[in-house]
Chains A and B, each alone.
Chain A
Amino acid sequence: MSRETTMPTQREERGVTGTREEAQTMTPAVDIFEIEDGLAVVADMPGVEKDAVDVRVENDVLTISGKAVSKECGDSLYREFGLTHYFRQFQLNSHVDQEKIKAEMKYGVLTIQLPTAEKAKPKKITVNIS
Protein backbone atom coordinates (compact mmCIF):
# COMPACT_ATOMS: atom_id res chain seq x y z
CA MET A 1 0.00 0.00 0.00
CA SER A 2 2.52 2.57 -1.02
CA ARG A 3 0.83 4.57 -3.72
CA GLU A 4 -2.74 5.42 -4.54
CA THR A 5 -4.67 7.33 -7.13
CA THR A 6 -8.10 8.79 -6.78
CA MET A 7 -8.67 9.68 -10.40
CA PRO A 8 -9.04 7.20 -13.25
CA THR A 9 -5.56 7.43 -14.69
CA GLN A 10 -5.29 3.91 -16.06
CA ARG A 11 -8.63 3.80 -17.80
CA GLU A 12 -7.38 4.71 -21.23
CA GLU A 13 -4.48 2.31 -21.02
CA ARG A 14 -6.98 -0.45 -20.46
CA GLY A 15 -8.94 0.60 -23.51
CA VAL A 16 -11.94 1.74 -21.55
CA THR A 17 -13.23 4.87 -23.13
CA GLY A 18 -13.52 7.70 -20.69
CA THR A 19 -16.80 9.49 -20.48
CA ARG A 20 -17.61 12.96 -19.39
CA GLU A 21 -19.58 11.55 -16.48
CA GLU A 22 -16.54 9.80 -15.10
CA ALA A 23 -14.43 12.94 -15.19
CA GLN A 24 -15.92 13.80 -11.83
CA THR A 25 -15.47 11.00 -9.33
CA MET A 26 -15.85 10.63 -5.62
CA THR A 27 -13.20 9.16 -3.40
CA PRO A 28 -14.64 6.63 -0.98
CA ALA A 29 -13.28 6.66 2.57
CA VAL A 30 -11.47 3.39 3.27
CA ASP A 31 -10.09 1.32 6.11
CA ILE A 32 -7.27 -1.01 5.16
CA PHE A 33 -5.99 -3.55 7.64
CA GLU A 34 -4.11 -6.81 7.80
CA ILE A 35 -6.00 -9.99 8.35
CA GLU A 36 -4.64 -13.47 9.02
CA ASP A 37 -3.90 -14.36 5.40
CA GLY A 38 -3.74 -11.03 3.61
CA LEU A 39 -5.37 -7.63 3.53
CA ALA A 40 -8.89 -6.37 4.03
CA VAL A 41 -10.23 -3.18 2.47
CA VAL A 42 -13.45 -1.63 3.72
CA ALA A 43 -14.89 1.26 1.70
CA ASP A 44 -17.94 3.44 2.30
CA MET A 45 -19.86 3.58 -0.98
CA PRO A 46 -23.40 4.64 -0.20
CA GLY A 47 -25.86 4.47 -3.06
CA VAL A 48 -24.08 1.70 -4.98
CA GLU A 49 -26.06 -1.43 -5.83
CA LYS A 50 -24.39 -4.80 -5.30
CA ASP A 51 -24.22 -5.35 -9.07
CA ALA A 52 -22.88 -1.87 -9.83
CA VAL A 53 -19.63 -2.26 -7.91
CA ASP A 54 -16.43 -3.24 -9.70
CA VAL A 55 -13.40 -4.61 -7.87
CA ARG A 56 -10.32 -5.72 -9.77
CA VAL A 57 -6.63 -6.30 -9.31
CA GLU A 58 -4.38 -5.78 -12.30
CA ASN A 59 -0.61 -5.46 -12.21
CA ASP A 60 -0.76 -5.25 -8.41
CA VAL A 61 -3.15 -2.31 -8.62
CA LEU A 62 -6.44 -2.65 -6.79
CA THR A 63 -9.23 -0.66 -8.44
CA ILE A 64 -12.52 0.01 -6.73
CA SER A 65 -15.25 1.67 -8.73
CA GLY A 66 -19.00 1.88 -8.74
CA LYS A 67 -21.86 4.06 -9.80
CA ALA A 68 -24.01 5.50 -7.06
CA VAL A 69 -27.69 6.01 -7.75
CA SER A 70 -29.78 8.45 -5.80
CA LYS A 71 -33.40 7.63 -5.05
CA GLU A 72 -34.17 11.30 -4.75
CA CYS A 73 -37.50 12.39 -6.12
CA GLY A 74 -39.29 15.70 -6.52
CA ASP A 75 -37.72 19.14 -6.82
CA SER A 76 -34.52 19.78 -4.93
CA LEU A 77 -34.74 22.25 -2.07
CA TYR A 78 -31.36 21.89 -0.43
CA ARG A 79 -28.34 19.73 -1.20
CA GLU A 80 -25.35 18.67 0.85
CA PHE A 81 -24.14 15.79 -1.28
CA GLY A 82 -24.18 14.59 -4.83
CA LEU A 83 -23.74 11.04 -6.04
CA THR A 84 -21.70 10.11 -9.10
CA HIS A 85 -19.01 7.49 -9.68
CA TYR A 86 -16.77 6.24 -6.94
CA PHE A 87 -13.20 5.57 -7.94
CA ARG A 88 -10.04 4.73 -6.06
CA GLN A 89 -6.90 2.77 -6.78
CA PHE A 90 -4.25 1.32 -4.52
CA GLN A 91 -0.86 -0.05 -5.36
CA LEU A 92 -0.48 -3.37 -3.60
CA ASN A 93 2.97 -4.44 -2.54
CA SER A 94 2.27 -8.10 -1.89
CA HIS A 95 1.26 -10.77 -4.33
CA VAL A 96 -2.46 -11.21 -4.12
CA ASP A 97 -4.10 -14.48 -4.99
CA GLN A 98 -6.59 -13.16 -7.51
CA GLU A 99 -8.63 -16.36 -7.53
CA LYS A 100 -9.45 -15.97 -3.86
CA ILE A 101 -10.47 -12.32 -3.71
CA LYS A 102 -13.79 -11.97 -1.94
CA ALA A 103 -15.97 -8.87 -2.06
CA GLU A 104 -19.14 -8.21 -0.17
CA MET A 105 -21.54 -5.28 -0.20
CA LYS A 106 -23.75 -4.51 2.77
CA TYR A 107 -25.50 -1.29 3.81
CA GLY A 108 -23.47 0.64 1.24
CA VAL A 109 -20.16 -0.63 2.63
CA LEU A 110 -17.85 -2.65 0.42
CA THR A 111 -15.62 -5.22 2.14
CA ILE A 112 -12.84 -6.85 0.12
CA GLN A 113 -10.59 -9.64 1.28
CA LEU A 114 -7.29 -9.94 -0.57
CA PRO A 115 -5.56 -13.16 0.41
CA THR A 116 -1.81 -13.38 -0.09
CA ALA A 117 -0.71 -15.90 -2.70
CA GLU A 118 0.91 -19.04 -1.31
CA LYS A 119 4.26 -18.25 -2.94
CA ALA A 120 4.40 -14.86 -1.21
CA LYS A 121 3.57 -16.13 2.24
CA PRO A 122 6.34 -16.17 4.80
CA LYS A 123 8.04 -19.54 5.13
CA LYS A 124 8.92 -20.72 8.55
CA ILE A 125 12.53 -21.69 8.74
CA THR A 126 13.61 -23.88 11.56
CA VAL A 127 16.93 -23.00 13.05
CA ASN A 128 18.99 -26.06 13.73
CA ILE A 129 21.15 -25.95 16.74
CA SER A 130 24.16 -28.11 16.41
Chain B
Amino acid sequence: MTYMLWNPIRELDTLRRQLEREVDRVFEGYRSEGPLPTPWGRSLGRYPLLNLSEDKDNIYVEVLAPGVGPESLEITVVNDTLRIAGEKQPLTGIKPEQFHRSERESGKFARTITLPVRVDGDSVKADYKNGLLLITLPKAPEAKPKQITVNVN
Protein backbone atom coordinates (compact mmCIF):
# COMPACT_ATOMS: atom_id res chain seq x y z
CA MET B 1 0.00 0.00 0.00
CA THR B 2 1.36 3.43 -0.92
CA TYR B 3 0.72 6.59 0.98
CA MET B 4 0.34 9.79 -1.00
CA LEU B 5 1.88 12.33 1.27
CA TRP B 6 1.50 16.02 0.59
CA ASN B 7 4.91 17.19 -0.53
CA PRO B 8 5.20 21.00 -0.58
CA ILE B 9 8.47 20.88 -2.56
CA ARG B 10 6.88 18.83 -5.29
CA GLU B 11 3.86 21.10 -5.31
CA LEU B 12 6.10 24.12 -5.80
CA ASP B 13 8.00 22.40 -8.56
CA THR B 14 4.80 21.60 -10.39
CA LEU B 15 3.67 25.20 -10.02
CA ARG B 16 6.98 26.47 -11.31
CA ARG B 17 6.77 24.28 -14.39
CA GLN B 18 3.21 25.38 -15.05
CA LEU B 19 4.27 29.02 -14.80
CA GLU B 20 7.20 28.49 -17.16
CA ARG B 21 4.92 26.90 -19.71
CA GLU B 22 2.50 29.81 -19.44
CA VAL B 23 5.29 32.36 -19.89
CA ASP B 24 6.61 30.47 -22.92
CA ARG B 25 3.13 30.38 -24.39
CA VAL B 26 2.58 34.09 -23.87
CA PHE B 27 5.88 35.09 -25.46
CA GLU B 28 5.66 32.68 -28.35
CA GLY B 29 4.75 34.53 -31.50
CA TYR B 30 4.65 37.80 -29.62
CA ARG B 31 4.13 40.76 -31.90
CA SER B 32 5.10 44.22 -30.85
CA GLU B 33 4.63 47.66 -32.32
CA GLY B 34 6.97 50.54 -31.71
CA PRO B 35 10.28 50.60 -29.90
CA LEU B 36 10.83 48.58 -26.76
CA PRO B 37 12.16 50.34 -23.66
CA THR B 38 15.54 48.61 -23.82
CA PRO B 39 17.22 46.72 -26.61
CA TRP B 40 17.61 43.83 -24.19
CA GLY B 41 14.11 44.05 -22.77
CA ARG B 42 12.71 40.84 -24.12
CA SER B 43 15.90 38.88 -24.45
CA LEU B 44 14.99 35.86 -22.27
CA GLY B 45 18.50 34.54 -22.74
CA ARG B 46 18.47 34.78 -26.51
CA TYR B 47 21.55 36.18 -28.20
CA PRO B 48 21.89 37.96 -30.51
CA LEU B 49 18.57 39.79 -30.56
CA LEU B 50 16.97 40.24 -33.94
CA ASN B 51 14.09 41.90 -35.73
CA LEU B 52 12.39 40.34 -38.70
CA SER B 53 10.64 42.26 -41.46
CA GLU B 54 9.58 41.70 -45.04
CA ASP B 55 8.54 43.38 -48.22
CA LYS B 56 7.30 41.95 -51.50
CA ASP B 57 10.67 40.55 -52.56
CA ASN B 58 12.80 40.13 -49.45
CA ILE B 59 12.95 39.05 -45.85
CA TYR B 60 15.12 41.33 -43.69
CA VAL B 61 16.79 40.20 -40.48
CA GLU B 62 18.36 42.95 -38.39
CA VAL B 63 20.70 41.68 -35.70
CA LEU B 64 22.02 43.56 -32.67
CA ALA B 65 25.71 42.68 -32.60
CA PRO B 66 27.87 45.45 -31.11
CA GLY B 67 31.58 44.74 -30.99
CA VAL B 68 31.31 41.63 -33.13
CA GLY B 69 34.04 41.68 -35.74
CA PRO B 70 32.47 41.26 -39.19
CA GLU B 71 35.24 38.77 -40.02
CA SER B 72 34.03 36.45 -37.25
CA LEU B 73 30.45 36.37 -38.53
CA GLU B 74 29.21 33.23 -40.20
CA ILE B 75 25.80 33.32 -41.82
CA THR B 76 24.37 30.19 -43.36
CA VAL B 77 21.01 29.45 -44.95
CA VAL B 78 19.65 25.95 -45.40
CA ASN B 79 16.15 25.81 -46.85
CA ASP B 80 14.16 28.07 -44.53
CA THR B 81 16.64 27.98 -41.65
CA LEU B 82 19.00 30.87 -40.99
CA ARG B 83 22.00 30.42 -38.72
CA ILE B 84 23.99 33.37 -37.40
CA ALA B 85 27.24 32.63 -35.58
CA GLY B 86 30.12 34.82 -34.50
CA GLU B 87 32.29 35.95 -31.67
CA LYS B 88 32.23 39.09 -29.59
CA GLN B 89 35.84 39.68 -28.68
CA PRO B 90 36.49 40.17 -24.98
CA LEU B 91 38.65 43.05 -23.77
CA THR B 92 42.19 41.79 -23.50
CA GLY B 93 45.01 42.67 -21.16
CA ILE B 94 42.87 44.01 -18.33
CA LYS B 95 43.24 42.44 -14.93
CA PRO B 96 40.09 41.75 -12.88
CA GLU B 97 41.19 44.21 -10.18
CA GLN B 98 41.22 47.06 -12.72
CA PHE B 99 37.47 46.75 -13.32
CA HIS B 100 34.93 49.02 -11.68
CA ARG B 101 32.10 47.65 -13.76
CA SER B 102 31.85 44.74 -16.13
CA GLU B 103 28.42 44.53 -17.74
CA ARG B 104 29.27 43.75 -21.34
CA GLU B 105 29.20 40.11 -22.23
CA SER B 106 31.53 38.52 -24.71
CA GLY B 107 32.25 35.19 -26.31
CA LYS B 108 31.06 32.95 -29.09
CA PHE B 109 27.42 32.78 -30.02
CA ALA B 110 25.18 31.02 -32.48
CA ARG B 111 21.49 31.37 -33.13
CA THR B 112 19.25 29.54 -35.54
CA ILE B 113 15.86 30.80 -36.64
CA THR B 114 13.22 29.47 -38.96
CA LEU B 115 12.22 31.95 -41.63
CA PRO B 116 8.53 32.41 -42.42
CA VAL B 117 9.03 31.66 -46.14
CA ARG B 118 11.49 29.86 -48.40
CA VAL B 119 14.38 32.06 -49.52
CA ASP B 120 16.88 32.02 -52.35
CA GLY B 121 19.98 30.99 -50.42
CA ASP B 122 22.38 31.88 -53.25
CA SER B 123 21.69 35.60 -53.25
CA VAL B 124 21.58 36.41 -49.53
CA LYS B 125 23.34 39.67 -48.64
CA ALA B 126 24.70 40.74 -45.26
CA ASP B 127 25.86 44.23 -44.28
CA TYR B 128 27.48 45.12 -40.97
CA LYS B 129 27.48 48.72 -39.81
CA ASN B 130 27.68 50.39 -36.39
CA GLY B 131 27.16 47.10 -34.60
CA LEU B 132 24.03 46.24 -36.54
CA LEU B 133 23.95 43.37 -38.98
CA LEU B 134 21.35 43.53 -41.73
CA ILE B 135 20.74 40.33 -43.64
CA THR B 136 18.68 40.59 -46.83
CA LEU B 137 17.19 37.30 -47.95
CA PRO B 138 15.41 37.34 -51.31
CA LYS B 139 12.24 35.27 -51.24
CA ALA B 140 12.16 32.15 -53.35
CA PRO B 141 10.10 32.65 -56.55
CA GLU B 142 7.37 30.31 -55.30
CA ALA B 143 7.05 32.31 -52.07
CA LYS B 144 6.54 35.69 -53.74
CA PRO B 145 3.03 37.05 -53.93
CA LYS B 146 1.45 36.65 -57.35
CA GLN B 147 -0.56 39.49 -58.77
CA ILE B 148 -3.69 38.13 -60.42
CA THR B 149 -5.36 40.26 -63.01
CA VAL B 150 -9.10 40.31 -62.92
CA ASN B 151 -10.57 40.04 -66.38
CA VAL B 152 -13.62 42.09 -67.09
CA ASN B 153 -15.92 40.73 -69.74
Interface of A with B (CB < 8 Å)? Answer: 1, 24, 26-27, 29-35, 39, 42, 44-49, 70-84, 105, 107-109
Most chain A CB inside 10 Å of its own CB: which residue of B31, B35, B116: B35
- Can you show 23 pairs from A to B with CB atoms below 8 A apart? A29-B104, A31-B99, A31-B104, A33-B94, A33-B101, A34-B100, A47-B64, A47-B131, A71-B132, A72-B53, A73-B60, A74-B53, A79-B32, A79-B52, A80-B36, A81-B36, A82-B39, A83-B35, A105-B130, A107-B131, A108-B67, A108-B131, A108-B132
Query: For residue A35, which residues in chain B have a CB less than 8 angstroms away from its CB?
Result: 98
Known: A30-B103, A80-B43, A109-B131. A44 touches B66 (CB 8 A): yes
Residue count of chain B within 8 Å CB distance of chain A = 50
Query: Chain B residues near A75 (CB, 8 Å)?
Result: 53-55
Q: Top 8 closest A-B pairs, CB basis?
A: A108-B131, A82-B35, A46-B131, A74-B55, A108-B66, A46-B66, A82-B36, A81-B39
A1 in contact with B100 (CB, 8 Å): yes
Closest-CB distance, A20 to chain B (whole angstroms): 12
A27 and B131 CA atoms in complex are apart in Å by: 16
Flag whether B109 is at the interface (Cβ < 8 A). no
Residues in B with CB closer than 8 Å to A77 are 52-54, 116
Task: Give Cα distance in the complex from A72 to B58, angstroms.
Answer: 12
Residues of B within 8 A of A1 (CB): 100-101
Contacts of A73 in B (CB 8 A): 53, 55, 60
Q: When chains A and B are docked, how far (Å) is the Cα of A31 from the Cα of B31?
A: 32
Q: Is the interface of B mostly helix, strand, loop or mixed?
A: loop
Inter-chain pairs besides A31-B104, A46-B130, A74-B53, 15 sampled, C-beta below 8 Å: A1-B101, A26-B37, A31-B103, A44-B104, A46-B65, A70-B132, A71-B129, A75-B54, A76-B52, A79-B31, A80-B42, A81-B39, A81-B41, A81-B51, A83-B35
B75 at the interface (CB under 8 A from A): no
Of B91, B103, B127, the contact of A29 (CB 8 Å cutoff): B103
Determine if A78 and B31 form an interchain contact, defined as CB atoms under 8 angstroms apart.
Answer: yes
The answer to whether residues A46 and B39 also contact, given A70-B132, A72-B62, A74-B60 and a CB cut-off of 8 A, is yes
Residues of A within 8 A of B62 (CB): 70-72
Q: How far is the CB of A30 from chain B (nearest CB, A)?
A: 6
Say whether A80 contacts B49, CB under 8 Å: yes
User: In the complex, what residue of chain A is closest to B54 when comparing beta carbons?
Assistant: A74
For window 1-59 of B, CB contacts with A under 8 Å fall at: 30-43, 46, 49-55, 58
